Amino acid sequence: MELFGTYDVVVTGAGITGVVAAIREAREGAKTLLLEASGVLGGLVTGGRLTKPTGLINGGVFHELIQRCAGYKGADNRTRESYWGAYTGAFDAEVMQRVVIEAIEEAGVEVLLRAQVVQTMKEGGHLRGLQIQTKSGSKLVLAKVFIDASGDGDVAALAGVQFMLGRKTDGLTQPITSYFRVLNVDIPRLVEDCREHRDDMWELVVPETGGSRNEDYVMVFFATGFTKRIEQAKNEGFPWIVPKDHMTLKAGLIPGELNINVTRFHGNGLDDRTLSKAEIEIRKQAYCAFDFLKQYVKGFENAIFLEVAPKLGIRETRRIQGHYVLTEADVRGEARFEDAIGLCNSPVDIHEPGGERAIMESVGSGYGIPYRCLVPEGVRGLLVAGRCISVDEVAYGSTRNVPACAMTGEAAAFAAAYCSKHGVDPLQVDVNEVQKSLRDGGVNLGIPGEVISR
Ligand SMILES: Cc1cc2nc3c(=O)[nH]c(=O)nc-3n(C[C@H](O)[C@H](O)[C@H](O)COP(=O)(O)OP(=O)(O)OC[C@H]3O[C@@H](n4cnc5c(N)ncnc54)[C@H](O)[C@@H]3O)c2cc1C
């Protein structure tokens, strides 16, 4: 097989986790390759048209990216409060894409898009190489250390690491959802409508000063609810085909733009037929929800359907078996760990597997994510980061959110740089060194007795 190249560190997956990891890695002086199966940098935060981190951004590269978006007037980076806790601002997906490209190029990361990892090459229990499938065929990539930021834990699974999938009781995972975007909504009129139906709104965020123009609501307006009206529409014979009883509307950067989270497809995000069917069914659901809004909610009279997010929104797939499995009790109990690499306050955010509902439950001031959750059992030379780290199904409801993904990407990068420099395995990393580097970048670690800075 043709050798594509030899690197210090190869990061698989260019979602926010992989992007943060690769930038940090290259800044640490490692010869770094970032592999991505699609043509998009940023994964769900760009191609999924996400608009906000659910939780506080905890220093590091992601914090810089948000600040940079704000510099382009593409993010509102103020800290906000919700019923489930504090979170950092909102951003525009395309501005985020722009700053990701800038930061990757400045750091000197080599990027290979449209390159899917399809096999691993091991020597004994040590991961040495990845087989990638590209337009021109199969190629081999070699490295001292690998970071699996594929979201799905593809590299770890291919290398033979054990993993967990779905609920213990029935194996079901959180549903697949793609955002869709609508333009030309009369937001002041929509706000009036939400206020008239206040008992049907779970959450309603409007600028303190209010406003009569769409511009006044840009990146601030946020509303969740509409349950009663969906029920009423169904009773009146409206063909509601979405297996969900509520929706969330978020104002984007363009005046009159809304990003809408309502579609829901139940199924295993690792199954080919499920993925194909989801792409189509989710579009049909988005058109249905759009028709509902036009018919039942004020402000949508002249709305224009812009797009369904180009990247399918896979919420949950593999959770890799690591040297520690972060548990529901840890997350709800605000646990701190000596080897923690980031303090996470993201709520337990679970979209009901197989059902219609969703929960967002506060985790108070947050919990520490142990470094051991990033080190898979049974394979050397590999770290995992992002939504595939080692956690149980409820802890996953929190760690799957963008803040923890970014934190674990950053920590994995420091650890991989250490491995590459010292010729050791991730399990032999001096965690104090990783923690020191993280702390220097403004990260709250989540260790016992730490004084939290914001
Ligand atoms: C609809 C929806 C709404 C959400 N809303 C929020 C929210 O409001 N706030 C929040 O904080 N979080 C939210 N989340 C969760 C959050 O967006 C994700 O969990 C997070 O962005 C995952 O980041 P990641 O980098 O780990 O994975 P991804 O963004 O999924 O990136 C993984 C990348 O790896 C690539 N890849 C996969 N397999 C391979 C392979 N074999 N070879 C090469 N490349 C590969 C993929 O193409 C992808 O680009 C939401 C998720 C969904 C689905």
pLDDT at 388: 98
pLDDT classification of 209: cutoffs 50, 70, 90: confident
Looking at residue 357, its pLDDT comes to 87
Residue 453 confidence (pLDDT) above 80: no
pLDDT, tens only, 249-280: 999 999 999 999 999 999 999 999 999 999 99
Instruction: Report the percentage of the chain scoring pLDDT > 90.
Output: 95
Closest residue by CA, ligand 1 atom 38: 150
The CA distance from 322 to 375, in Å, is 5
Cβ–ligand 1 contact at 43 (below 6 Å): yes
Banded model confidence at residue 211, pLDDT cuts 50, 70, 90: confident
Average pLDDT over residues 186-213: 94
Cα(189) to centroid of ligand 1, in Å?
33
Q: How far away, in angstroms, is 144 Cα from ligand 1 center?
A: 25
- pLDDT number for residue 43: 97
Q: Give me the mean pLDDT over the 316-342 stretch.
A: 98
Ligand 1 atom nearest to CA at 400: 19
Angle between helices 60-71 and 402-422 (to 10 degrees): 120
The reply to whether ligand 1 has any atom less than 6 angstroms from the CB of 152 is yes
What's the CA-to-centroid distance between 313 and ligand 1, angstroms? Answer: 7
Residue nearest atom 19 in ligand 1 by C-alpha distance: 400
pLDDT band at 210 (very low <50, low <70, confident <90, very high): confident
- Of all atoms in ligand 1, which is nearest to the CA of residue 150? 34
Ligand 1: centre distance to CA 314 (Å): 7
Model confidence at 202, pLDDT cuts 50, 70, 90, reads very high
33-89 tens-digit pLDDT: 999 999 999 999 999 999 899 999 999 999 999 999 999 999 998 899 999 999 997
Give me 401's structure tokens.
């959110």
Q: What are the tens digits of pLDDT across the range 78-123?
A: 899 999 999 997 999 999 999 999 999 999 999 999 999 999 999 9
Q: Is residue 89 within 6 Å of ligand 1 at its C-beta?
A: no
Mutate to test the pocket of ligand 1, among 150, 282, 315 (most ligand atoms within 8 A of CB): 150
Q: What is the mean pLDDT of the chain?
A: 96
Ligand 1 contact, 90 CB (< 6 A): no
The single-letter code of the amino acid at 131 is: Q
Give 53's contacts (C-beta < 8 A, 6+ positions apart): 62, 66, 87, 88, 89, 401, 402, 403, 406
Distance 309 CA to ligand 1 centre (A): 13
Q: Tell me the best of 10, 11, 19, 44 to mutate to test the pocket of ligand 1, counting ligand atoms within 8 Å of each CB and taking the most.
A: 44
Nearest atom in ligand 1 to the alpha carbon of residue 51 is: 8
Domains of the chain: 2-171+316-440 (3.50.50.60), 180-308 (no CATH)
Cβ of residue 12 lying under 6 Å from some atom of ligand 1: yes
Q: Which of 134, 124, 147 is nearest to 28 (CA)?
A: 147
Residue having the nearest C-alpha atom to atom 51 of ligand 1: 315
317 lines ligand 1 (CB under 6 A): no
Best substitution site from 402, 408, 410 to test ligand 1's pocket, by max atoms within 8 Å of Cβ? 402
What's the average model confidence in pLDDT over 289-304?
Answer: 98
Residue with CA at minimum distance from ligand 1 atom 25: 15
C-alpha 302 – ligand 1 centre gap (Å): 32
151 within ligand 1 shell (Cβ under 6 A): yes
Ligand 1 close to Cβ of residue 50 (< 6 A): yes
Q: How far is the CA of 247 from the centre of ligand 1 (A)?
A: 20
Q: Are 222 and 203 in contact (CB under 8 A)?
A: yes
Q: Is the CB of 57 under 6 A from ligand 1?
A: no
> How much is the average pLDDT of 350-370?
94
Our answer on whether the CB atom of 21 is closer than 6 Å to any ligand 1 atom is no
pTM, full prediction? 0.97
Between the CA of 405 and the centroid of ligand 1 the distance, in Å, is: 9
**Tens digits of residue pLDDT in 336-355:** 999 999 999 999 999 999 99
Q: Phi and psi for 158 in degrees, rounded to 5? A: -65, -30
Ligand 1 neighbour 446 (Cβ under 6 A): no
Over residues 325-339, the mean pLDDT reads 98
With 90 as the cut, is the pLDDT of residue 424 above it?
A: yes
The per-residue pLDDT for range 127-165, each reduced to its tens digit, is 999 999 999 999 999 999 999 999 999 999 999 999 999
In short, whether 54's Cβ falls inside 6 Å of ligand 1 is yes
Q: Count how many residues are written for the chain.
A: 454
Q: Is the CB of 148 within 6 Å of ligand 1? A: no
Q: State the pLDDT at residue 141.
A: 98
Longest C-alpha distance within the chain, in Å? 68
Q: What is the structure's pLDDT at 216?
A: 96
CA of residue 178 to ligand 1 center, whole Å: 11
Specify the pLDDT at position 452. Answer: 84
